[in-house]
Structure 1
Amino acid sequence: MTKHSPTDDGGSTIEGAGIDGRIHVQTDGERRGSDRQVEYETVTTPVLVIGAGAAGARVAIALAESNLEPLVIGKRDHGDAHTTWAAGGINAALGSLDEDDDWTIHAADTLNEGHHLNDPEAVELTAKRMPDRIRELDDWGMAFDRTDDGKINQRYFGAQSYRRTCFVGDRTGEAMLETLIDRARELEIPYRDNVMITRLLSDGTRVDGAVGFDMETGEGLLFRTNHVVLAAGGFSALYHRHSSRDDENNGDGQALALEAGAQLTALEFVQFHPTGMVGERYGDEWDGRLVTEAVRGEGGRLFNAEGERFMERYSPDQMELDARDVVARAIAREVREGRGTDNGGIYLDISHRDPSYVQERLPSMVERFADLGVDITSEPMEVAPTAHYTIGGVDIDFRTGETGVDGLYAVGETVAGVHGANRLGGNSLAETVAVGKVVGDHVANAVTSRDRVPTVTDAQRALAEREFRALADLADSDGTVPPKTLLEDLGDLLWDTAGILRDAESLREGLDGVAEIRARTADIHVDGDRTSRSFEYAVDLSFSLTVAEAMLRTALERTESRGAHYRTDYPETDSDWRVTLVLSADERGLTITRRGVADPSEPVRESLEEGHELDYHHLE
């Protein structure tokens, strides 16, 4: 690692209306930063993994097991990743309770839930490998709940034909990440926390590293590597109501990839989880926070404000365990037609179950609501849909993780393909470890001896220094509008124009609103230096505006309703729209093209034809 204090005068501001959506900063009409000196640290590594959740950790473990030493970086403290918020479980066709289940039925359920826009190869890769990944996690110490005869226990999740979801109470993601981190520590994988990446070093055809800053010191960081793996999550936190932390899942992975020359797909599909917390008694801090699907998987029932178990009208066979998009739209309709609560929600009730059973299976939910004055073993929870998971992302080859930009790979919620038009609950955690190992193994084989200690060229250093000066200019922004205000305005805009129900008029209004917010960034005010939360929000805003515009454009393009994308002006599913929308960027702006979807393998087609379906009576 070396530090530099350059004196050359090449520099640039953060571009505004360009492809990357960067904030444009000017003072008195003059560009700043051309004579600004910047100090930074240079780090070389054979592989840089951006993102320290389950996907990034599993990639790094595969690399370390191949005798490589990757560097993993995260925006928060080690172990503090969004994976910990995935509560309900992780899918694998183990057959612990239902012996007839197998990987082909898991794949068929995934394709059906995804309305057959999934990448079949990605689906089959995940479903085939998950039993081994669960056994691996078990061997590494993950404390799965067990059946009476000692097998890994499994529960129902929505739209699954069998009890397939393995779990650790209702803290599965947290337990899984702890297990992966313990394994990474055993392998002594280098990790650096509180680092934010703002740009990939790329000429549009290959990546040579990444540029960012230390969020604790404000110091610039140049990471030089020939192999970058993006594992930075999704963009659900762009919405006003969401199940993420406000400073996570803001689209940085997708925006970084797009700017570097990769393509994005399926951005129009944003999954709204049916049950997020809502209600004055919970407070603003808890608004939108996830109430895990495990509550419904263990028998929880939904009631409107009139006491009706309304899912009987929408899905009499699968009831509360129908697909997430079906349940979320049903709730939205109940509220819209005046049968919701005063807070715009409905009730989720599991009090008919034995209190000891609820406490055993849902300990985190019991504890959380008890702290808020609600005993879920005896009274209902007030819930409403919340933006939860972004199905779209970077377009990759699932056999390798390659993005089409040499040296750039992606994995986890940053990518698209496994989930199609709607994600099957329990598949997000599954994808992280199933695909994460595949990508890690491929990258390990791609690293050459020359890659282990890459050199830093003058051109690479010059590009990094321009970015550092631009970040310094951004930190000096002294306008009148706080970046958090603009992010909040963006969240309200997307909720109103591109939510559960959308149409052409609302989507165009959303695009106009994004342009208006982008214009307002010219008057941005950063309160503090590069270690401040205000500066972090200013950087986030650049990513978020880029991804918001891309999502709105693809949603406007798809003139049908399918899965998580529901157009009130095109309410039917159109067979001609069984295509993937692919978005790319160049100097002319954003371009959308269509790509056909492949068919699954013969064994999976047979399972689809057999028509497996959830037998809800087990929960009654």
Structure 2
Amino acid sequence: MRDSPKTGSARAGIPEYDSVDVSVLVIGAGAAGARAAIELAERGVDDVLVLGKRSHGDAHTTWARGGINGALGTHDPEDSWAIHAADTLNEGHFLNDPGKVQTVTKRMPGLLRELDDWGMAFSRTEDGELDQRFFGAQSFRRTAFAGDHTGESMLNTLVDRAQELSVPYRENVMITTLLADGDRVYGAVGFDADTGDYLLINAGTVVLAAGGYAAIYNRHTSRDDENNGDGPALAYDAGAALMDMEFVQFHPTGMAVDEDDPEWEPWSGRLVTEAVRGEGGHLYNAEGERFMERYSPDQMELDARDVVARAIAQEVAEGRGTENGGVSLDLSHKSRSFIRERLPRMYERFDDLGVDMASEPVEVAPTAHYGMGGVAVDEHGETSVDGLFAIGETMAGVHGANRLGGNSLAETVAFGAVAGERIAQRVDGPGRLPDHVVDDYAKPQLRDLAALAGRDGTHEVSSVFTGLQNLLWEHAGILRDEDSLRAGLRELDTLRDRVSDLDVGPITSDSFEFAVDLGFMLTTAEAVLRGALQRTESRGAHYRTDYPDTDPDWRRNIYYERADVGGMSTHTETVGTPSETVQAALDEGHELDYHQLE
């Protein structure tokens, strides 16, 4: 990696910027980005730079608490990678890419053991094996975990391994555009949020591991400054296609709080891990009914996330919700020692807020949690733009119409390894950044960023930001219909006008960062609304009240691309078929028997 002296031209309105040359640029320092960088380093590729939007080790991965899937068979030796794949396809309502599903499920047992070898603090059985718990819609206990802080423990393990391998890293850097001409990628432009320096990075290969887009909703499990759609929007603007963007998973159990209480308000929508239900938690409405008996008498609280989320929404809509618009999640029938051992972070969080999980329930309600859609990629994670890869939550294909709990962390390490292997076979230095790319793409972006910093506009960034989140929740939430989706698209056009006239602080301010985020969010919001409008059926996390049935003819993926003359265009493609091994597992009809937990 080579840094060059600052360059720029104040006369041309182009600010000074630092130039960096690197063979592989990894955008995103969560689990997917870290695992890709580790794979590259282990294969002898040392000219790599990992960029983190936040400080080192502070990525959204840490909020994935419940566990990571892999068919180890610790408790259920009859489990297999093929049954894991079958569960994933069933949960995804068969819109998943079967090849990508097979890649993840076949690799995960080995990757779990690898994490164990690297020192991850997995919870263990009395025999010292990696313990595994039930998660919703899984046929067997295959979710390995570290208490209820699995993502945090996993990311710490990956960061430590990357540091052992001396992987270069920069923190608090935000990428605002990729340098691409539609055929291949050449690098990126961004800024350092600490110093205010602008950056131009020349890279032979770019890996997008920048997360998903759940934070375009006003109730979500992310922080407002992450999962704003950076990764998908950067790829889309570079000429890559997006896929499945209409499928947004609403986790059944986000925290339902009194938003007028300053102590509780910051926790609104934050995840109450599925592990609480996996360890035997019961859901009750305000009338004391264990209502999942009406919706899913066989699988109860551990049915698919979309089923449980819609059931809770229905209970609240029919007037059986709790004070803060949710339902009660109760684990008080378990012992205090059990809860503190199996769910330490959850116990501590609620205890700090004055709620004792061992003696009283907590209030929960659905919250936007995960985007199943993302960038369309091949079997190695590469997009249609040569040299541009997308992995982790930024990519599409593994989860289909609804994600199986425990598969998000699995996807990050599996495709981090897959992409790293592929890139290592092809890496050939930074390459030369063509003059036309600098003139046509880099300099205009640097000029626009300089003009945005300190802009004296009409609209407050925070107000427009919140307005966009409210728009998505109202018009493309758990329950959707044509009139509301069309109204959402009209309102989105109005918001675009406001985004063009923002009042923005200096480059190191939060308002500058959120103003950049708004650009990404507009792209992902439009894709969600357009896809939800086009898909005239209900499937998985996408539920149309005016088309409540699943239509077999809609077993197709929607792709989103930039039109030749402005705007967003879409087309559909049919889904592939599973391998014979996975189809055999599907035909066997494995299914969780919830009542063995009682």
TM-score category (smaller protein): over 0.9
One-letter amino acid matched to 1:370:
D
Structure 2 residues without counterparts, runs of 5 or longer: none
Q: Is 2:502 the partner of 1:521?
A: no
How far apart, CA to CA, are the structure 1 residues paired with 2:376 and 2:5? 35
Q: Which residue of 2 aligns with 1:302?
A: 283
What code does the residue aligned with 2:387 have? G
Shift of 1:485: 0.9
Q: For residue 584 of structure 2, give the secondary structure of its aligned residue in structure 1.
A: helix
CA–CA separation in structure 1 for the residues paired with 2:9 and 2:176 = 22
How many Å apart are 1:267 and its aligned residue?
0.3
Deviations 1:511-563 (A, max 9, x none): 1111111111232101x210000100110011101110111001100000000
**Compared CA separation, residues 486 and 204, structure 1 to 2 (3 A):** same
SS class of match (1:272): strand
Describe how 1:312-461 pairs up with structure 2 within 5 A. Answer: 312-398=293-379, 400-448=380-428, 451=429, 453-461=430-438
Matches of 2:541 and 2:14 in 1, distance apart? 48
Find the aligned partners of 1:361 and 1:582 in 2 and give their Cα distance. Answer: 41
Q: What is the distance in 2 between the residues matched to 1:330 and 1:545?
A: 30
2:12 aligned with 1:2: no
Match of 2:74 in 1: 96
- 2:204 match: secondary structure: coil
Aligned residues of 2:27 and 2:207 also touching (Cα < 8 A): yes
Q: In the alignment, what sits opposite 2:524? A: 547
Asked whether the equivalents of residues 5 and 37 of structure 1 are also in contact (C-alpha less than 8 Å), the reply is: no
Can you list the C-alpha shifts for 1:538-597, whole angstroms capped at 9, x where unaligned?
A: 100111011101110011000000000000000000000000001110333211101000
**Structure-2 separation of matches of 1:473 and 1:418:** 40
- SS where residue 536 of structure 1 aligns? helix
Cross-structure match for 2:596: 618
Tell me which residue corresponds to 1:194.
172
Cross-structure match for 2:543: 566
Counterpart contact for 2:220–2:270, Cα < 8 Å? yes
Query: Relative to structure 2, which stretch is displaced further, 466-475 or 292-301?
Result: 466-475
Equivalent residue, structure 2, for 1:23: none
CA distance in 1, matches of 2:76, 2:8: 64
Residue 454 of structure 2 contacts residue 507 of structure 2 at CA under 8 Å; is this kept in 1?
Answer: no
Residue 169 (structure 1) aligns with: 147
Looking at structure 1, the residues matched to 115 and 7 of structure 2 have their Cα atoms a distance apart, in angstroms, of 45
Q: Which residue number corresponds to residue 75 of structure 1?
A: 53
User: In the alignment, is residue 62 of structure 1 matched against residue 43 of structure 2?
Assistant: no
Note the C-alpha offset of 1:68: 0.8
CA distance in structure 1 between the partners assigned to 2:208 and 2:402 by the alignment: 22
Cα deviation, residue 5, structure 1: 3.2
Shift of 1:8: 8.2
What's the secondary structure of 1:45's corresponding residue? strand
Q: Which contiguous aligned blocks of 4+ residues in structure 1 show a shift greater than 2 angstroms?
A: 3-9, 453-463
Structure 2 equivalent of residue 27 of structure 1: none
**CA deviation after TM superposition for structure 1 residue 37, in Å:** 4.0
Deviation at 1:77, TM superposition (A): 0.4
Alignment pair present for 1:500 and 2:478: yes
Give 1:66 shift. 1.1
Q: TM-score, normalised by structure 2?
A: 0.97
Q: 1:232 matched to which residue of 2?
A: 210
Secondary structure of the corresponding residue to residue 162 of structure 2: helix
Work out whether residues 79 and 178 of structure 1, in 8 Å CA contact, stay in contact via their aligned partners in 2: yes
Structure-2 residue corresponding to 1:21? none
> Quick one: distance in 1 between partners of 2:558 and 2:434?
37
CA-to-aligned-CA distance 1:98-125 (integer Å, 9 cap, x gap): 1110001000000000000000000011
Q: Secondary structure at the match of 1:5?
A: strand
CA distance in 2, matches of 1:40, 1:64: 28
CA distance in 2, matches of 1:173, 1:37: 41
Separation (CA, whole Å) in 2 of partners of 1:433 and 1:41: 32
**What is the deviation of 1:479?**
1.3
Cα distance in 2 for partners of 1:425, 1:91 equals 8
Q: Give the SS at the match of 1:226.
A: strand
In the TM superposition, residue 617 of structure 1 has moved relative to its aligned partner by: 2.0
> What SS does the aligned partner of 1:47 have?
strand
Unaligned runs of 5+ in 1: 10-34
Taking the aligned partners of 1:440 and 1:591, their CA distance within structure 2 comes to 31
Q: Aligned to 2:9, what secondary structure does the other structure show?
A: coil
Give CA-to-partner distance per residue, 1:449-495, whole Å, 9 cap, x none. xx2x4334433332322211100111132012111111100111110
* 1-structure distance, mates of 2:289, 2:181: 58
> In the alignment, is residue 556 of structure 1 matched against residue 558 of structure 2?
no
Q: 1:150: how far off?
A: 1.1
For 1:537, the equivalent position in structure 2 comes to 514
TM-score after normalising by structure 1: 0.94
> 5 Å matches for 1:480-499?
480-499=458-477
Cα displacement string for residues 101-152 of structure 1 (whole angstroms, at most 9, x for unaligned residues)? 0001000000000000000000011000000000000000001111111110
Mapped to 1, the partners of 2:451 and 2:298 lie a distance apart of: 59
Structure 2 SS opposite 1:538: helix
Residues 45-99 of structure 1 deviation map (CA, whole Å, 9 limit, x = unaligned): 1100000000000000010011112100010001000000000000000000011
**After the TM superposition, which residues 32-51 of structure 1 pair with which residues of structure 2 at under 5 Å, given as runs?**
35-51=12-28
Which residue identity lines up with residue 427 of structure 1 in the other structure? N
Given that 1:421 and 1:564 are in contact with CA atoms closer than 8 Å, whether structure 2 keeps it comes out as: yes
Among 550, 556, 559, the alignment partner of 1:582 is 559
CA drift at 1:3: 2.6
* Contact 1:3/1:39 (8 A) holds in 2: no
Q: Is the 8 A contact 2:14 2:450 kept in 1?
A: no
How many residue pairs were aligned?
590
Q: Distance in 2 between matches of 1:194 and 1:442?
A: 28
Secondary structure in 2 aligned to 1:492?
helix
2:212–2:374 CA contact under 8 A, matched in 1 = yes
Question: In 2, Cα distance between the equivalents of 1:428 and 1:109?
Answer: 14
Asked whether 1:509 is paired with 2:509, we answer no
* Partner Cα separation in structure 2 for residue 358 and residue 263 of structure 1: 44
In the alignment, the residues of structure 1 paired with residue 340 and residue 446 of structure 2 have an alpha-carbon distance, to the nearest angstrom, of 51
SS of residue paired to 2:319: coil
Q: What SS does the aligned partner of 1:292 have?
A: coil
**Structure 1 segment 140-159 matched on structure 2, within 5 A:** 140-159=118-137
Match for 1:418: what amino acid? V
User: What is the match of residue 262 of structure 1?
Assistant: 240
Correspondence for 1:278:
256
